[in-house]
Chains A and B, each alone.
Chain A
Amino acid sequence: DAKTTQPNSMESNEEEPVHLPCNHSTISGTDYIHWYRQLPSQGPEYVIHGLTSNVNNRMASLAIAEDRKSSTLILHRATLRDAAVYYCILRGFSGNTGKLIFGQGTTLQVKP
């Protein structure tokens, strides 16, 4: 699977939008972009995923660059409960085992 690069940490103020970047310059045409987040002492939870077009769901939005070499997870209004580690993952076709490779992610701090 291709590699992703994320900042180690970011800070945000409560009720402001947050843009979490992810670079994946070696992405292949069939790689999907997945985002998960992990709250303290919990297992990761799925946030959103996409292939080429921007995606929206109740948790967040995913903006994918036209060349697909980068993407941005957008939290429209950060709350204290959004403080977590956010993982950007490329889902490539690896024999369809469903394996996901989790890097170190971005630790998001939300200040009141």
Chain B
Amino acid sequence: DGGITQSPKYLFRKEGQNVTLSCEQNLNHDAMYWYRQDPGQGLRLIYYSQIVNDFQKGDIAEGYSVSREKKESFPLTVTSAQKNPTAFYLCASRNGQERFGNEKLFFGSGTQLSVL
């Protein structure tokens, strides 16, 4: 079955540590996104990539980094500079060939990151 796989489901970070969240998709989608969700809140965009080897900052990129070396993969690193990393992280993708307005985002099941 095609879809988006996020791992791990739960992750714990120690103070001063960098951690990397994995996101893999086998939908052959061009664009991929990382969102952050805090309890009871909507989603906020961290980074997005419309094509391999290219990515742009979203609304809350500080303290995060990404790479897009392969079409299928868009890992997110939460660096030690992110002082409040505890949140639910969601990865999404979309087919870049869809006509404007008709694009649908497909989401993974998320990674819950907590600070020890």
Contacts and interface: CB of A to CB of B under 8 A. Distances in A.
B64 interface: no
B90 A98 contact: no
A100 B59 CA distance: 12
A102 B109 contact: no
A44 B31 contact: no
B52 to A, nearest CB: 16
Contact of A46 (B35, B48, B100, B105): B105
A102 B43 contact: yes
A102 B42 contact: yes
Interface string A44-73: 111001010000000000000000000000
A96 B105 contact: no
A93 B100 contact: yes
B56 A42 contact: no
B107 A102 contact: no
Contacts of A43: 4, 90-92, 107-110
Interface residues of A, number: 24
B83 interface: no
Contacts of B91: 43
A45 B92 CA distance: 10
B42 A87 contact: yes
A98 B101 contact: no
Contacts of A96: 100
Interface string A89-100: 001010011111
B109 A98 contact: no
Interface of A: 30, 32, 36, 41-46, 49, 51, 87, 91, 93, 96-105
Interface of B: 4, 31, 33, 35, 40-43, 45, 48, 50, 56, 58, 90-92, 94, 96, 100-110
24 contacts: A32-B101, A36-B105, A41-B109, A42-B107, A43-B91, A43-B107, A43-B108, A44-B90, A44-B107, A46-B105, A49-B102, A51-B101, A93-B100, A96-B100, A97-B31, A97-B48, A97-B50, A98-B48, A98-B105, A99-B45, A101-B42, A101-B45, A102-B42, A103-B42
